[in-house]
Chain A
Amino acid sequence: MSELVVTLIRLGYLVLLWLLVLAAIGVLRRDISGTRVLARGSLMGRSSAKAAPDGGAAPGRGARAKRGAPTRLVVTAGPLNGTTLRLGENSILLGRAPSSTLVLDDDYSSTRHARIFPADGGWYVEDLGSTNGTWLGSSQVEGPTPVPAGTPIRVGQTVIELRR
């Protein structure tokens, strides 16, 4: 091979290498420009508004759920905002303990804070002796209390709702 070809290959390969680097950075740039650091709440507000119409379609999924019974638990505020859990037949433990069903990453919730469980065809919430208490709507939860769909349950900084 002539000297010229060798040099062209040598430099051409470096160009190819940098092409990859720059292309990768180009893809990353999109990642930066498409993202703002923001409270997840503002995002969730929009998506839950969007979600409202198809909420009605959800009950068909739950094998057991009666018409009108909540089918999922949605975290609407707090560090875990945006998380949803599908409601099954099991009770759900909320708290900071790693063994909880929903592990709250929330300084203001207790290790084992509250429990949401199904009974008599509906869902109930009860406080498990937490420090800061559990609030259903505007009242503090004392004993097991039925939870209507769409009523916010406040646990520490976290607000969850049961939705259809």
Chain B
Amino acid sequence: MATVAPSTRPRAGRNSELGLLAIALAVGVAAYAIVGLNLDGVVPVDLVRHVGILVVLTVVLHLVMRWRAPNADPVMLPVVAALNGLGLAMIYRIDQPLAERGLRAGFAERQLVWTIIGIVLAIAVLALLRDHRTLRRYPFLAMIAGLALLCLPMAPFIGQTINGARLWINVAGFSFQPAEVAKILLAIFFAGYFVNRRDALTLAGNKMLGLHLPRFADLAPIVVIWVVSVGVLVVERDLGTSLLFFGLFVAMLYVATEKVSWIFIGLLLVGVGVVFAYSTFDYVAARFDVWLNALDSEIYNRDPGGSGQLVRGLFGLAAGGLMGTGLGLGHPDLVPYANSDFIVASLGEELGLTGLVAILMLYLVLAQRGLRAAIGVRDGFGKLLASGFAFVIAFQVFVVVGGVTRLIPLTGLTMPFMAAGGSSLVANWIIVAILLRISDAARRPAPAGAGSVVGNETALIALGDVAPADPVPASVPSVPARPSAFGWDDVEPEPNTFASSRTELIDHREERPTNAVGHESNPADTTGDQQGGPGTSRATLDGPGGSERGTSERMVGVARDVPGPPDQTSTSDADDDDNPTEVVKR
């Protein structure tokens, strides 16, 4: 992935954020008030409290960003606040008929508590996590914790089965989906792992039919993750979670390597998994029946596993039409799980296609901001993590909306920030906090003078403590001692990876178009060279701007035939003046 540098000092946008946040809060609060007006003729009695909680929390988060992440993206927080507020209003709205019918209600109150917890955790993450690279320190710990959380629902006593899926744990009356937290930890692990392994994954292997085939050894991790995903599917009986983890893995693998072949391999494995699940598990086969023949009366009336929920959701969407019935004026409560799995259908019914498309646009903006942060940030780990998180959000929206609209089979994922369910809400707020942290690093202006992009302090946090001052005198040819006491070697799966990938690197150098993560793209170089054309600013521009191309050219030479010292000059690098239009093959 290329890195995009702002040409001018980007505006931090904190004031734009405040303005957008005002509109976003109005969206959430107005929805809440309108629901009350349309259902009971008066605004809800606790409107002031509701408004107070949302405004105070989001404004505090905004202020924390001014303090701790002044350059963070200005759009994410308002978008997320609007989605959360709208979700709260819709859950409250569906509570009313549920309570009238004597069913279990009170989801809105619980969701509000989870919102508070989520935002407080987001504030804590922004305040305490000063540099996202801190997360890179313990990738394998993150993996173990993530897998443990994934397996936690299978534990006796605390594991809980709801509607056939064993995804919850129940501790002291609170039920929680550990998989939601596991997805954060696994994204951190994947990012840390790929950033170390991407050379091997990118370069090694043969080409066949125009596809780059990786070495068998490099295929091992993808197979392991595939097995884990299928294990989740088998044991916890949840198609959505299993798809999410595998999708996250393949997406991050693709971002790390820029090799389309990984996507084909991933799709192939998904295909194998789906065929296997379809032929083995009744509940998966039932899901497919419901998807393909939803309107058969036999399947509609089947219980359990009928298509009633799906079809009623579709009828709800149809009743909404273009402009919707108005908040509180439809009948979304006729659909089972109208406030969680089917909140999209509920929103589509009451806000219509117009409203639903607006909501999807908000998700699109959110995912785009995540990917933009990935492009802007300089370190490979941050790029991978941000794109992984952006993918998770987008993928969940796709799977949920696709399921409700019968584009794909229905699975058990939640609509981020909107669906009733605490674990998902909290996890997504943490994800947004980390994305904000990464976007802060990405949008921080380039250092002028003493201001630093990587302060020594943060670099050390990220990379391990530097050992105490090295007492080796200059005259002693010292053993190349590691200055870091930090155990990154533990982290290396195979200590020889670097060595082997380096040799391959030299061999493949010419074929390689760009580096996957953290390199300037070729267009970038061209622009830089055009900018650095002959002119008065040559002297200042030169060292950094122009010489890069010359260097890469030279270094190819160095790698191949090891000539003497290249003729370097310190500030007036004449190399690329000689051949300013020549294009370097990378």
Contact = CB atoms under 8 A, between A and B. Distances in A.
Contacts of A20: 20, 23-24, 27, 78-79, 82, 358, 362
Contacts of B19: 23
A10 B545 CA distance: 56
A77 B551 contact: yes
A115 B483 contact: yes
Given A20-B24, A98-B491, A105-B518, A86 B544 contact: no
Nearest to A12: B30
Contacts of B7: 34-36, 38, 43
B540 A86 contact: no
A118 B37 CA distance: 72
Contacts of B361: 21, 25
B470 A80 contact: no
Interface residues of B, number: 129
B186 interface: no
A159 B555 contact: no
B240 interface: no
Interface string B423-465: 0000000000000000000000011111011111101100110
A119 B498 contact: no
Contacts of A99: 463-464, 482, 484, 486, 488-489
A146 B475 CA distance: 10
Given A41-B541, A83-B453, A1 B546 contact: no
A61 B447 contact: no
A77 B531 contact: no
A42 B541 contact: yes
Nearest to B497: A111
B558 A133 contact: yes
Interface string A135-156: 1011110011010000110101
B281 to A, nearest CB: 40
B447 A82 contact: yes
Interface stretch (B9-17, B153-161, B227-235): B9-17
Contact of A24 (B10, B79, B454, B531): B79
Given A111-B502, A131-B506, A40 B520 contact: yes
B449 A58 contact: yes
Contacts of A35: 4-7, 10
B488 A98 contact: yes
A96 B34 CA distance: 57
Given A135-B565, A159-B547, A101 B484 contact: yes
Given A79-B518, A86-B455, A101 B463 contact: yes
Contacts of B365: 21, 24-25, 28
A16 B531 contact: no
Contacts of A138: 565, 567-570
B151 interface: no
Interface string B564-586: 01111110000000000000000
Which among A7, A38, A78, A132 has the highest number of chain B CB atoms within 10 Å?
A38
Contacts of B521: 37
Which among B10, B502, B524, B544 has the highest number of chain A CB atoms within 10 Å?
B544
A154 B568 contact: yes
Give the interface size class of chain A: 35 or more
Interface string B466-497: 11111011111110101110101101000000
B66 interface: no
A38 B565 contact: no
Contact of B5 (A11, A40, A101, A156): A40
Contact of B528 (A42, A91, A140, A143): A42
Interface in A82-116: 82-93, 96-103, 105, 107-108, 110-112, 115
Contact of B520 (A23, A46, A79, A144): A79
B196 interface: yes
Nearest to B525: A39
B559 interface: yes
B516 to A, nearest CB: 10
Contacts of B446: 40, 43-44, 47, 82
B41 interface: yes
Contact of A92 (B359, B475, B483, B502): B483
Contacts of B259: none
B206 interface: no
B518 A45 contact: no
Given A35-B10, A97-B488, A120-B473, A14 B456 contact: no
Contacts of A21: 358, 361-362, 365
A44 B542 CA distance: 10
A83 B196 contact: no
B75 interface: yes
A67 to B, nearest CB: 16
A124 B474 contact: yes
A34 B488 CA distance: 39
A144 to B, nearest CB: 4
Given A37-B4, A119-B473, A107 B505 contact: yes
A31 B10 contact: yes
Given A24-B365, A101-B466, A132-B558, A76 B480 contact: no
B545 A16 contact: no
Nearest to B460: A101
B449 to A, nearest CB: 4
B524 A39 contact: yes
B438 to A, nearest CB: 15
A45 B79 CA distance: 36
Contacts of B31: 13
Given A40-B446, A107-B512, A137-B568, A49 B548 contact: no
B454 A85 contact: yes
A126 B368 contact: no
Given A20-B27, A24-B20, 11 more contacts: A14-B355, A14-B358, A37-B4, A39-B5, A39-B528, A41-B528, A77-B544, A86-B455, A87-B456, A105-B380, A144-B475
Interface of A: 1, 6-7, 9-11, 13-14, 16-21, 23-25, 27-28, 30-31, 34-51, 53-55, 57-58, 61, 72, 74, 76-93, 96-103, 105, 107-108, 110-112, 115, 117-120, 124, 126, 128-129, 131-133, 135, 137-140, 143-144, 146, 151-152, 154, 156-157, 159
- 5 nearest A-B pairs in the assembled complex, by CB-CB distance: A39-B528, A41-B545, A41-B544, A86-B456, A10-B326
